[in-house]
Structure 1
Amino acid sequence: MMREFEIERQFDIKIEIIKANKGVYYLKTNKGERCLKRINYGPQKLLFVYGAKEHLIKNGFSSLDRYYLNSEGEPYALVNEDLYTLSEWLEGRECDFRNIDEVRIAAETLARMHEASKGYDPPENSKLKSDLGRWPHLMEKRTKSLDKMKDIIRKKSIKNDFDMLYLKSVEFYKEIGKKAISTLMDSNYYELCMLAEQEKGFCHHDFTYHNIILDDKGVTHVIDFDYCKREVRTFDISNFMIKVLKRVDWNLEFAKTIIDSYNSISELNKEEYKVLYAYLQFPQRYWRLANRYYYNEVNWGQNTFTNKLNSIIEEKEKFLAFLDAFKNEYKIQ
């Protein structure tokens, strides 16, 4: 149970109204509207995130959910061993990924964020979060785990609809996973990781519609930096592209708009396209859904899982056609 008076005491505020809202709390306080959020990781990681946001602000990227400090100068309150952060309540609406103009704005915003992230030295007592150099290993591990999940099904005496769908489709995704690993290994991935290490930038790692808030003054805010870490920027771009493309039937025009808009702020170099392609190729959504299902990571109903798997499989042909078109468009060898 959250003790409100502890939040009030540590942040030196008076709470007038508190309402749960999409995994956070809306607060009306004597100092204005605030967003209160319970954090499910430790203070060292939180200090990395706090430092990353402060670094962006210092470099001119200030449209984000900046943390307020408590009376001790820390960016959190500690209540019953739980950490809570307090930030400004940002009014606005979520970015519409089916609207090409809003997708363009989001891509430009991502490029500006990446530029502003360069030169980040995390606070001394924080925990450096990094995925640099890890993707060949992660892709291999996830591709192998597709077989492990197949073994889980084989041991079941009664197989349900999800199991049967998975068994029918898994070989295709395993093969495309192997192709993505081969693309990545044939790219300049490790050199780009070394460059990212030198530049000391970071990625948002969850740059999606509900973390991109457009207000009525035309300002685009980026929120929820909980997963931010050192990473090659093509990861963020591919992750964002996939979130958009799955909503627009893998339309190449949207992909080109994202790349053109990003390049208008911060141009990708030739070597980065192959790494971007490897990320797009990898069946991350398929692996993640199956992983959530077989390892009970998410408490969704059986039908929800089956429908989600069905929709991923149904877009297979469009996905493959997109990969071919993308490869030709950007002359990826």
Structure 2
Amino acid sequence: MQANQSIVEVAQKFNLDVTTVDMVKPDVYRLVTRTGEQHCLKRMGYPLDYLSWMDSALHDLRRQGFKSFAWRDPQAPQGKILFEMANPSDSPYILTPWLQGRHPDPTSSEDMIEVAKALSYFHLAGRAVRVSKKGEQNLLGKWPSMLKARFEVLQREVDKAKYWKGESELDLILRAHGDQLVERANKALEILKKSDYQATCKKAEREGTLCHGDSGPKNFVITAEGPSLIDFETLRIDLRVYDLFRLIRLASKKNGWDFSIAQTIVDSYCTVSELTSDEYGLLSVWLQFPGKACRILTRYERATGSKEKSEIIRKLKKAMSVEEKISPFLQKLTKYAKERCN
């Protein structure tokens, strides 16, 4: 009750008369006002400069004609304030419209067609966004260093498992699967090295590029007007194929890595804006790289308690269970890309 009262007090700072507070997940609340309006109140643990940049970029996106997303509208009564705080030392809260609808079904071709098109329109509008660089998150040109750092964690843990002869659950998993993960990581890095990545980044910087950063099905809502994007904490300057990778990977996981859904996504995306041959290669870099395993191993290295480590091991086992399905998937992607580019 006390927690809800704190949320009501934050909502009042946005000039809302709230009657209902539902916690959707930690730090995210659905608010219902006395007049029946619904809003989403979200805690944002990010620097204020980044929050201001995000806000400016999304307003410019709206001015470019793309309106299928949930963010404050400064023209609306409750959209005039960017953020409020429960107290001066707390993280800021933002208020956005609560979209009436449902998350798209990753197993539905119809849903994935609509979502892929919406993502492509988002990227087209994002090319025209021009805002101050202050506070921006810019990852153009940084993929090689990012992936190399993740690979070093993977190689270190695999080497320890192989040469130290430990008998922990982690050791056993990495002795069984580690070489396969290292091989995939090396292949991804080699594709990146041979690609025109830096030239593609320079072109994107000249033309403009905006990336959602976490464009999986759960960050879309299918409304009566069509799909809308939500949750912009990962908004950044980056290549558009990273967003496409996120959508393909997260949808494919739900489909047992059946390539048909991935093909549906790319085909639909390209009806709005075609990919270049080099972009297909860069897309395959992220799909090839065992990023999930690397992130889990990074967490394991930092973990201290046995309970935390056990949970991390459970997630690693789950990640390993899909490894055998990825290689055939990637072979089909390579063939498909060649056919599209010929």
TM-score, normalised by the number of residues in structure 2: 0.87
For 2:275 and 2:112, locate their aligned partners in 1 and report how far apart those are by CA, in whole Å.
Answer: 18
| Residue of structure 2 equivalent to 1:11 | 14
- Check the 8 A contact 2:118/2:227 in 1, yes or no: yes
Q: Displacement of 1:107 after TM fit?
A: 0.8
CA–CA distance in structure 1, aligned partners of residues 108 and 158 of structure 2? 38
The residue that corresponds to 1:195 in the other structure is 203
Secondary structure of the corresponding residue to residue 86 of structure 1: strand
Partner of 1:29: 33
Distance in 2 of aligned mates of 1:63 and 1:152: 48
Alignment of 1:19-98 (within 5 A): 19-23=22-26, 24-30=28-34, 32-67=37-72, 73-80=80-87, 81=89, 82-98=91-107
Describe the SS at the equivalent of 2:92: strand
Shift of 1:191: 0.9
CA contact (8 A) 1:293 1:305 kept: yes
Distance (Å, rounded) in 2 between the aligned partners of 1:297 and 1:190: 39
Q: Which amino acid aligns with 1:37?
A: K
Contact 1:68 1:85 in 2 (8 A): no
Q: How does 1:139-288 map to 2 (within 5 A)?
A: 139-150=147-158, 159-215=167-223, 217-288=224-295
Is residue 108 from structure 1 mapped to residue 117 from structure 2 by the alignment? yes
**3-state SS, counterpart of residue 268 of structure 1:** coil
The structural deviation recorded for 1:53 is 1.7
Any unmatched runs of 5+ in structure 2? none
The one-letter code matched in structure 1 to 2:59 is E
Q: Deviations over 1:57-76 (max 9, x none)?
A: 11222121112569995410
Deviation at 1:321, TM superposition (A): 1.1
Q: Which runs of 5+ in 1 are unaligned?
A: none
Distance 1:154 1:63 in 2: 50
Please identify, of 300-309 and 235-244, the stretch whose mean Cα deviation from structure 2 is larger. Answer: 300-309
Amino acid at match of 1:25: Y
SS at match of 2:280: helix
Instruction: Name the CA shift for 1:143/1:185 in 2 (closer, same or farther; >3 Å).
Output: same
Q: CA deviation at 1:179?
A: 1.0
How far apart are residue 5 of structure 1 and its match?
A: 6.0
Residue number among 126, 129, 141 corresponding to 1:120 in the alignment = 129
Taking the aligned partners of 2:116 and 2:305, their CA distance within structure 1 comes to 30
Structure 2 counterpart of 1:316, one-letter code:
E
Provide the rounded CA distance (Å) in 2 between the counterparts of 1:224 and 1:156.
Answer: 43
Equivalents in 2 of 1:297, 1:89: separation in Å? Answer: 38
Q: Kindly report the root-mean-square deviation, in angstroms, between the aligned alpha carbons of the 2 structures.
A: 2.9
**Number of equivalenced pairs:** 331
The amino acid that maps onto 1:200 is G
1:292/1:298 contact within 8 Å kept: no
